[in-house]
């Protein structure tokens, strides 16, 4: 009969699970999935390097540890080992080049723009609130720190956010999208995204912009396309 596995032996597995699942919110957009994949890749690469270095340090401590009444046996120094020098230069360099290459590819995917997005939202940040304009329908939703706005959007459609500011530098940040863009008074930033999961997602200003920065919030309500069309038509009819 085998002994039951002790709980403490599961600690490394639990720690790894927490680290992998707790670093980022679950992505709800197509671009967010790409960013999450890149984060996971960097985490795994960092974990491998950490384990390798920690193992070498641990082995050195155990192998060359001192003890009372015993001389410490120091390792023989190595001089002029070309193969070893090439290896410890080539391996880190290859890892860095690999990570740069994957980052390049993912950033290109995240920054890709559709020529004809299904919906264009003009985003204006101001102290301390947001104004959203549905370009095609000429519908405006706005709010302040005292009454944050709710932006209703469709799922499974390409949405283009065109972002600017009317005063100081803000940052349009949606944690569940795993993306943010600066809102600048002198230029327009844009990113396209497809929301894959219906739900309500919090947004905020991600750049300190003054006294009420922490309260410069907004909310995104993602709904199925037909429900969004009905909502947008009702908003257009109520416009003065």
Q: How confident is the model at residue 20, as a pLDDT? A: 54
106 and 139 belong to one structural domain: no
26 and 103 belong to one structural domain: yes
pTM of the entire structure?
0.76
Domain count, the chain: 2
- Using CA atoms of 25, 225, 171, 110 in order, give the dihedral in degrees to the nearest 10: 70
193 and 231 belong to one structural domain: yes
54 and 147 belong to one structural domain: no
Q: Which residues pair with 209 in a beta bridge?
A: none
124 and 226 belong to one structural domain: yes
124 and 232 belong to one structural domain: yes
pLDDT tens profile 84-140: 888 889 999 999 999 999 999 999 999 989 888 999 999 999 999 999 999 888 899
Query: What domain range is 23 assigned to?
Result: 19-66+76-110
Q: What one-character DSSP code corresponds to residue 210?
A: S
Q: Which residues pair with 190 in a beta bridge?
A: 162
pLDDT tens profile 61-74: 887 776 676 666 67
Instruction: Report whether 121 contacts 192 (CB < 8 A).
Output: no
Top-ranked range on mean pLDDT: pick from 18-27, 41-50, 67-76: 41-50
Say if 3 falls within a structural domain.
no
Secondary structure (DSSP) of 130-166: EEEEETTTTEEEEEESSS--EEEEESSSEEEEEEEES
Least confident of 46-60, 104-118, 164-178, 224-238: 224-238
CATH number of the domain encompassing residue 222: 2.60.40.420
The tokens describing 11, both together, are 């600690």
CATH number of the domain encompassing residue 38: 1.10.287.90
Q: How confident is the model at residue 183, as a pLDDT? A: 94
């Amino acid at each position: 009969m085998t002994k039951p596995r002790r709980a403490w032996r599961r600690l490394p597995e639990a720690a790894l699970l927490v680290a992998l699942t707790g670093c980022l919110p679950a992505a709800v957009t197509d671009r967010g999935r790409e960013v999450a994949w890149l984060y996971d890749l960097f985490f795994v690469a960092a974990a491998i390097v950490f384990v390798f270095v920690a193992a070498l340090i641990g082995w050195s401590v155990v192998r060359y540890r001192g003890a009372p009444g015993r001389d410490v046996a120091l390792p023989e120094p190595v001089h002029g080992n070309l193969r070893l020098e090439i290896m410890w230069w080539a391996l880190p360099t290859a890892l860095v080049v690999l990570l740069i290459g994957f980052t390049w590819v993912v950033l290109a995917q995240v920054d890709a723009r559709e020529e004809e997005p299904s919906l264009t939202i003009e985003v204006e940040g101001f102290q301390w609130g947001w104004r959203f304009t549905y370009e095609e329908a000429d519908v405006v939703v706005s709010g302040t720190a005292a009454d944050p706005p709710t932006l209703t959007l469709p799922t499974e459609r390409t949405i283009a956010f065109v972002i600017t500011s009317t005063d100081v530098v803000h940052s349009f940040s949606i944690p569940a999208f795993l993306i943010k863009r600066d809102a600048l008074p002198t230029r327009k930033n844009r990113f396209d995204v497809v929301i894959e999961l219906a739900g309500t997602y919090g947004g905020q200003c991600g750049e300190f912009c003054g006294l009420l920065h922490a309260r410069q919030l907004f909310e995104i309500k993602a709904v199925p396309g037909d429900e969004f069309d009905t909502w947008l038509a009702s908003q257009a009819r109520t416009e003065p």
